[in-house]
Structure 1
Amino acid sequence: MLRDILRTTFYSIRNYIPTPIYLKLMYWRISGKALNIKNPKTYAEKLAYLKVYKTQGDLSRYVDKYRVRDYVKGKIGEKYLIPLIGVYENEEEIPWESLPSEYVLKCNHDTGSVVIKHTQDNLDREATKLHFKKALKTNLYWAGREYPYKSVVPSIICEKLLDDGSGEIKDYKILCFDGEPKYIVCDVGRFSNHRRNIYDLEWRNQGITTDHQQYDGYIEKPEKLDEMIVLAKKLSKGFIHVRVDFYFVNGKIYFGEMTFFPWAGNIWFTPDEWNYKLGELISLKEKE
Structure 2
Amino acid sequence: MRPFYEQYFYNRRPRKSGGEKFLPHFINDFLAWHEESLAETDEVRDPEGWMTACSQLDPKEFRRIVRAGVGGYFRKNGEWPDFCTPASFGGMNILHSLLMPMPRKIPADKLMVGEYIPERYRDCCRPAEVVRTWGPDETPSFEGLAPGTYFLKSNHASAQVMKIVLPCDEATLAEARENVATWLATDYGKQSSQWWYRFIDRKAFLERDLNDAKAEGPLTDFRFHVINGKISVLQMDVGHGTEDRHNPVYDQDLNYLPYNFLRQNLREEPLPENADLARDIARTIGAGFQYCRVDLYLRGREVFLGELTFLPNAGRRHVRSPELDEMICADWDPMPKFVRISGNV
Relative to the length of structure 2, the TM-score reads: 0.70
Give 1:73-222 correspondences, 5 Å limit: 74=119, 76-77=121-122, 79-90=125-136, 92-101=138-147, 102-118=149-165, 122=169, 124-163=172-211, 165=214, 169-193=219-243, 194-214=245-265, 216-222=266-272
Q: Residues 57, 104 of structure 1: CA spacing in aligned structure 2 closer, same or farther, 3 A cutoff?
A: closer
Query: 1:220, CA displacement in angstroms?
Result: 1.4
Match in the other structure for 2:80: 34
Q: Which residue of 1 aligns with 2:101?
A: 56
Q: What is the number of residues matched between the two proteins?
A: 271
**Aligned counterpart for 1:246 among listed residues 266, 291, 296:** 296
Task: State whether structure 2 residue 86 is matched by structure 1 residue 43.
Answer: no
* Equivalent position amino acid for 1:30 in 2: K
Partners of 1:267 and 1:17 in 2: CA distance: 22
Does the alignment pair 1:66 with 2:111? yes
Root-mean-square deviation over aligned CA pairs: 2.8
**Equivalent AA in structure 1 for residue 203 of structure 2:** S
Look up the match of 1:4: none
Contact 1:244-1:257 at 8 Å conserved across structures: yes
Counterpart Cα distance in 1 of 2:85 and 2:253: 33
How far is the alpha carbon of 1:74 from its aligned partner?
Answer: 4.3
Instruction: State the shift of 1:183 in Å.
Output: 1.8
What is the CA–CA distance in structure 1 between the aligned matches of 2:104 and 2:77, rounded to whole Å?
27
Q: Give me the whole-angstrom Cα distance separating, in 2, the residues matched to 1:285 and 1:64.
A: 22
Tell me the equivalent position of 1:8: none
Q: Unpaired segments of 5 or more residues in structure 1?
A: 1-14
Listed as ranges, the gaps of 5+ residues in structure 2 are: 1-60, 339-345
Change (3 A) 1:119 1:176: same
Counterpart of 2:199, as a letter, is S
The reply to whether residue 23 of structure 1 matches residue 69 of structure 2 is yes
1:208-229: CA deviation from partner (whole Å, max 9, x where unpaired):
3244222x35521121001001
Higher RCO (CA-CA < 8 Å; seq separation 6+): 2
Please say which of residues 150-159 and 163-172 is displaced more in the overlay: 163-172
**Alpha-carbon displacement from aligned partner over 1:105-153 (angstroms, at most 9, x marks no partner):** 1101111111122358656110111111111111222132112212111
**Does structure 1 conserve the Cα–Cα contact (< 8 Å) formed by 2:81 and 2:92?**
no
2:154 partner amino acid: C
Change in CA separation of 1:261 and 1:72 when aligned onto 2, cut-off 3 Å: same
DSSP-derived class of the 1:175 partner: strand
Distance, in Å, in 2 between the alignment partners of 1:84 and 1:48 is 32
User: Residues 168 and 189 of structure 1 are in contact (CA less than 8 Å); yes or no, is this contact kept in structure 2?
Assistant: no
Comparing 223-232 with 170-179, greater Cα deviation is found at 170-179
Q: 1:195 Cα shift?
A: 1.9
Query: Matched residues in 2 for 1:119 and 1:89: separation?
Result: 21
Counterpart contact for 1:42–1:280, Cα < 8 Å = no
How far the C-alpha of 1:173 sits from its partner, in A, is 0.7
Task: Tell me which structure has the larger Cα radius of gyration.
Answer: 2
**Secondary structure at the residue paired with 1:61?**
coil
| More off after superposition, 186-195 vs 236-245 | 186-195
Over 3 Å counting, the alpha-carbon distance change for 1:73 and 1:58 in structure 2 is: closer
Q: Which residue matches 2:34? A: none
Instruction: Give the 3-state SS of the residue equivalent to 1:154 in structure 2.
Output: coil
2:107 partner SS: helix
* Percent of matched pairs sharing the same residue: 18
Residue-by-residue CA offset, 1:169-188 (whole Å, 9 max, x unaligned): 33101111222223211112
Distance 2:269 2:166 in 1: 28
Cα separation, partners in 2 of 1:217 and 1:71, compared to 1, 3 Å: closer
